Each structure stands twice: as structure tokens, then as C-alpha cells.
Amino acid sequence: MAGKYGYVDKKGVFLIKQEFDAAYSFYDGAARVKTGGKYGFINKKGEYIIRPVYDSAYDFIPGLGMAVVETKDARRSEYIDKKGKLVKKPGFKESIIFPCGLTAVKVGEKWGYANKCTDIVIIPEFDKAMAFSEGLAAVRIMGKWGYVDRKGRVIIRMSFDAALSFSEGLAGVKEGIKWGFVDKKGETVIAPKFSCVKGFKEGLAAVEMNDKWGFIDKKGRFVIKNIFAEADSFGSGLAPVKA
């Protein structure tokens, strides 16, 4: 159905029909979807495991089996399991997950990193900072992006106009108006030729070229042609796309 999201396999075949207003990648075997202005979760068969009743929702946290959701009536974030049951009722509106032990924090006008005890471990000196992934984090100084390690050492110099987190050994970076991919040495693996990219998941990355999205392998070859209006990363063998 035009204008709706569904899910395709790695051959580009729809396995979950197009019926959602918004759809996101699978995490921990569940995918967040939106219909009728509400969020819920489906399994790989496209069946609802949690009905769409939430005003906002985040993906399930890998390995923990929990997701953060919120309703206007509750006016706070709550944790649910895959049966939709509350597993925790924190009395705050926002929560921060520390999946890699460090989180980006803003002190004054600069960003640095703190550990789980909220101790500053990387001095706030960045104009912008992203989460650590695969041992590196994308940071920005004076309009340019590069990557630092957990000790704050610059591993890939600040030379990009935009940057994504590393995933499966590669990171999307923008040079000028085009996106490509670099490895952890900062060497170009896939030349910048795309209008937009998502990170690699399960060996494929969603990329936009000529106003259409498709999926490439780690050599930059299209495995699924760029025929979609929108696309997101693979998870559990499926990727959300909009025709």
C-alpha cells in the first residue's frame, strides 16, 4: 500500500505487508511500529505482541528484554517487558541507558563523557558528542567530525562534515554533500556517493541515491535496488521500508 511501511527480507521481498504509518528496525526480536497515532510492537510474523496504545515508545534494549514507553495520562516513562507488563516504574520523565559504560554529557557549552557513577572520564571539550559504539565515539570540534576512543584520544581526525556511529566495523561519514563509509583507521572503504546512509546491520546498509533507498553490501554494491521512498536497518533478517 502506497505511503505505508512494511518489512522486506534480504532479497527485497515483502514478508510483512505495508500497513503501518511508521516502522522501525527489529531489536531483540521485536519491532516498534506506529498506527493510528499510537505505538506498539510486532514480532517477525507481523503479529502484535504489544498493541499500539502508547504515545511514545523506544526500541527494546538488546539483552534486557525491556522497552521504555510513555502515555500522556501517565506523564512519565515506564519500562515494559515483551508481554506489555510493567517491570519498573521510575518516577522520572526521562531515563538514560548506559549500554557501553559511558554516556555523553553536556557541561556548560561543551560535551564530554561520564561513567555510570556520573564521574567525568573524558573532559568536556567537544561541540557535540555521540554514543560510543565498538570502542569509538563520533565527536565534533569546530564544525568537523572525527572519532575518539574511551580515553578521549583522537583516533580518526576531525575531517568529516557529519558522522554516524560505528556498526560492524564501518561508519557512515559525510564529505561535502555525499555520504560514504570508513573503517576504524579512518580509511575510505565505500566512496562518498550517497545522499544519506544508515549504519550496517547484518551485513547490509540502507542508503539513499537518486531520491530512492536501497541496501548495499560492504563493498558498496546494491544488493536490494534503490526503489523505496524510505528504509531503515535490518534486524532479525527484516528491514522496514516505505514504498
Residue 85's nearest CA partner among 41, 46, 45 is 41
Cell numbers at residue 33, please? 511500529
Measured in degrees and rounded to the nearest 5, phi and psi for residue 131 equal -70, 150
| Sequence letter at residue 203 | G
Decide if pLDDT at 64 tops 70.
no
Q: Is residue 54 part of a domain?
A: yes
As to burial, measured by CB atoms within 10 angstroms (0-12 exposed, 13-18 middle, 19+ buried), residue 82 is: middle
Structural contact between residues 113 and 136, judged by C-beta atoms closer than 8 angstroms: no
Establish if 66 belongs to a structural domain: yes
Kindly state the cell numbers that stand for 121: 572520564
Q: What is the rounded CA–CA span in Å between residue 214 and residue 149? A: 31
> What are the pLDDT digits (tens) for 158-181?
999 999 999 999 999 999 999 999
Q: Is residue 137 part of a domain?
A: no
Q: Count structural domains, the chain.
A: 1
- 73 Cβ contact list (under 8 Å, min separation 6): none
Whole-number Cα distances in Å, 173 to 95, 120, 146, 180, 192: 29, 27, 9, 6, 8
Identify whether 59 is part of a domain: yes
Q: How would residue 96 be classed by pLDDT, with cut points 50, 70 and 90?
A: very low
Residue 238 has pLDDT above 70, yes or no: yes
pTM summary value? 0.87
| pLDDT bucket at 92, cuts 50 / 70 / 90 | very low
Rounded CA gap, 165 and 102, in Å?
Answer: 14
CATH of the domain at 52: 2.40.10
Asked if 39 and 57 count as a contact pair (C-beta separation under 8 A), the reply is yes
Provide the 3-class DSSP secondary structure of residue 219. Answer: coil
For residue 33, what are the domain limits? 21-88
